Amino acid sequence: MREYLKFYIDGQWVDPIGSGTVDLVNPATEEISGKIALGSEADVDKAVKAARAAFASYSQTSREERLALLKAIKSEYEKRLPELAEAITEEMGAPASLASGFHTFLGTGHLDTAIAVLEKFVFEERQGDTLIVKEPIGVCGLITPWNWPINQVTVKVFPALAAGCTVVLKPPQLAAYSAQILAEILDAAGVPKGVFNMVQGKGSVIGSALSTHPDVDMISFTGSESVGVQISKDAADTVKRVCLELGGKSPYILLDDDGLTERVAAATSGMMVNSGQTCSAGSRLIVPQARMAEAKAAAAQAAEAVTVGNPAGNAAMGPVVSEDQFDTVQAYIKQGIDEGAELVAGGPGLPEGLDKGYYVKPTVFATTNDKVVAREEIFGPVLVMIGYNDLEDAVAIANDTDFGLAGYVDGNDQDKCHEIARKIRAGAIYVNGGFDFNAPFGGYKRSGNGREWGEHGFAEYLETKAIVG
Ligand code: NAD
């Protein structure tokens, strides 16, 4: 049983000012795995004061001093990788291989990227008689979701610290354990007191106290659209910078080429990774209508091949994060059936052989883009297949969505894929399986307004000053 009942404020583990704790449940077993303390507005205020006091000196540190700090963090992070992976599996149900693989690897990647960006970043440039200086924005409130918990925390904390900002992190209640270990890593690495602070608790209390706090300069938020909207409203009175990384319903266009069935299979099993709880998941698979029968057969086979079960064992897919999430995903599956979408694989209820845990069957629908299951973010292992007549139609379907976080185009002709990628209204388009830690990541439309990852993510934590004359 884990018990994390202290917050990290001003370089120390301190008792909460607010009282109360909450039990956390292991989604694989439905049993209580531990408890965390719930913070109050007073805890947030204390953390913001510490961050504000530390900003005066930390913002003046040299590039070399911050590089040395990030390298010390890297050495501590690497020591704790197995513990981080175990915590991720326990808190949100990611299979052990995924938690010790991509989940924790993303943190290493963001750390290496923050170091590489800081090494080369040009903080000052002359424009005629004007000197343009980039400076850290100040005290940052970082609010993160549970789905890729270490990724979400590290993609904010590392560039913020690299830029010279001080931070107050509010991790998600459902993935509090990995955040706690990260705070221990930063403490062991010797992050100066007050530079990094962490308060756990309810979003409506801690998140809102950060968003409204007059001494917080910026909020970087990743999570749902509705909370992003609330944060923007809360932050408006104090004119903070608000960076939002929200949800998606990303199109995955497959060209009418040889290898279509293999690509359908890869896109289907890709959708099931992390139980489909990925903001940028290619959840709308857009395939040539003339080859729909072939595509459905390949998707069904791939979905049925995904092993579902105990994430601490060898299963490819674990549970979804919570009972609430299970109920939401089940309701969408039911709605898909009720609105006439064709069930290609999976369906409602627990997978065969499982009677405990929040497990969902890898599910595939074939339908049209106007159905609710094709329009709303389900955030579970549910893929929707949609047929297109020609590439213009494929692009129109891809863009017929409120979201614009990501897109995917796979086909044999790279130039043709790029041509289509340019036409998709979304922040990141992955062509034939591309991946790059330096590529900016963020949304068009209702998927948000900020950019994370690489130099663009680093630049979000900077202000621009002109010294004229
Ligand atoms: P959520 O919006 O419910 O919670 C996110 C965080 O906000 C949590 O820490 C929560 O405690 C906090 N919060 C809740 N109410 C708040 C309030 N009123 N003020 C301030 N903070 C508050 O989202 P979730 O369920 O944790 O995550 C799933 C969502 O996140 C999905 O929509 C997914 O697409 C999105 N997401 C987006 C990205 C991206 O980079 N664009 C990445 C991962 C997840």
The model's pLDDT over 28-76, given as tens digits with 9 standing for 90+, comes to 999 999 999 999 999 999 999 999 999 999 999 999 999 999 999 999 9
- What value does the mean pLDDT take over residues 5-15? 98
In the block, residue with structure tokens 């800081």: 118
pLDDT the model gives residue 166: 99
Judge if the beta carbon of residue 247 lies within 6 A of ligand 1.
yes
The bridge status of strand 406-410 relative to strand 428-431 is parallel
What is the mean pLDDT of the segment spanning 190-198? Answer: 98
- CA 459 and chain centroid, separation: 19
The answer, yes or no, to whether any atom of ligand 1 lies below 6 A from the CB of 222, is: yes
- What does the CA dihedral 38, 44, 46, 48 come to, rounded to 10 degrees? 150
Note the pLDDT of residue 18.
Answer: 77
Computed over every residue of the chain, the mean pLDDT equals 98
What confidence score (pLDDT) does residue 465 get? 98
CA atoms within 13 A on the CB side of 354: 22
Task: Enumerate the active-site residues.
Answer: 245, 279
Q: For residue 437, give both structure tokens.
A: 């830690």
Q: How many A from CA of 203 to the centre of ligand 1?
A: 9
Segment 436-462 shows an average pLDDT of 98
Q: Which 8-state DSSP code applies to residue 241? A: E
pLDDT for residue 19 is more than 90: no
Secondary structure of residue 175 in the 3-state scheme: helix
φ, ψ of residue 284 in degrees (nearest 5): -120, 105
DSSP result, 269-335: HHHHGGGG--TT---EEEEEGGGHHHHHHHHHHHHHHS-BS-TTTT-SB---S-HHHHHHHHHHHHH
Task: State the amino acid at position 127 in one-letter form.
Answer: Q
In 3D space, the residue among 316, 275, 324, 277 whose CA is nearest the CA of residue 25 turns out to be 324
CB 368 within 8 A of CB 358: no
Ligand 1 centroid – CA 405 distance (Å) = 15
Tell which atom from ligand 1 comes closest to the C-alpha of 234. 19
Helix spans in 149-291 (H): 149-163, 176-188, 208-212, 225-236, 260-272
Q: Is 39 in the pocket of ligand 1 (CB under 6 A)?
A: no
| Å from CA of 223 to ligand 1 middle | 2
Q: What is the pLDDT of residues 152-181, one digit of tens each?
A: 999 999 999 999 999 999 999 999 999 999
Closest by CA to 320, choosing from 273, 356, 358, 362, is: 358
- Best substitution site from 154, 279, 283, 449 to test ligand 1's pocket, by max atoms within 8 Å of Cβ? 279
CA neighbor of 106 nearest in space, from 10, 178, 15: 178
Share of the chain above pLDDT 90, in %: 99
Q: Does the CB atom of residue 29 touch ligand 1 within 6 A?
A: no
380 lines ligand 1 (CB under 6 A): no
Mutate-to-test residue for ligand 1 from 224, 231, 326, highest number of ligand atoms within 8 A of CB: 224
Amino acid at 217: D
Q: Quote the ligand 1 centre to 228 CA distance (angstroms).
A: 8
| pLDDT given at position 127 | 97
- Residues 6+ away with beta carbon under 8 Å from 74: 108, 111, 112, 115
3-state secondary structure of 98: helix
SS3 for 25? strand
Pairing of strands 241-245, 284-288: unpaired
Q: Which residue has a Cα nearest atom 8 of ligand 1?
A: 172
CA of 98 to the centre of ligand 1 (A): 21
Query: Ligand 1 in contact with 407 (CB < 6 A)?
Result: no
Is 145 near ligand 1, meaning CB less than 6 Å away?
yes
> Which atom of ligand 1 is closest in space to residue 226's alpha carbon?
2
Q: What is the mean pLDDT of residues 291-313?
A: 98
Cβ(406) – ligand 1 distance below 6 Å: no
The residue type found at 461 is Y
Tell me if 203 CB under 6 Å of ligand 1.
yes
- Mutation test residue for ligand 1: of 44, 143, 155, 231, the one with most atoms within 8 Å of CB: 143
Average pLDDT over residues 340-356: 97
Tell me, in angstroms, the distance from the centre of ligand 1 to residue 388's CA: 33
Which residue's CA lies nearest to atom 35 of ligand 1? 223
Beta bridge partners of 343: 365
What is the whole-number distance in angstroms between the Cα of residue 99 and the centre of ligand 1?
Answer: 20
DSSP letter assigned to residue 39: P
Distances (CA, A) of 207 to 98, 158, 173, 231, 364: 29, 20, 11, 8, 35
Residue whose structure tokens are 């109360």: 20
- pLDDT tier for residue 107 given thresholds of 50, 70 and 90: very high
CA gap 38, 17 in Å, rounded: 9
| Cβ count within 10 A of residue 62 | 9
For 328-333, the CB contacts below 8 A with 24+ separation are: 328/378, 328/379, 328/380, 329/276, 329/360, 329/378, 329/379, 329/380, 329/381, 329/382, 330/360, 332/372, 332/373, 332/376, 332/378, 332/380, 332/382, 333/360, 333/363, 333/382
pLDDT in tens, 354-374: 999 999 999 999 999 999 999
CA triplet 342, 343, 348: central angle to 5 degrees? Answer: 135
Instruction: Yes or no: say if 361 and 389 are a contact pair by the CB < 8 Å rule.
Output: no
pLDDT at 386 over 80: yes
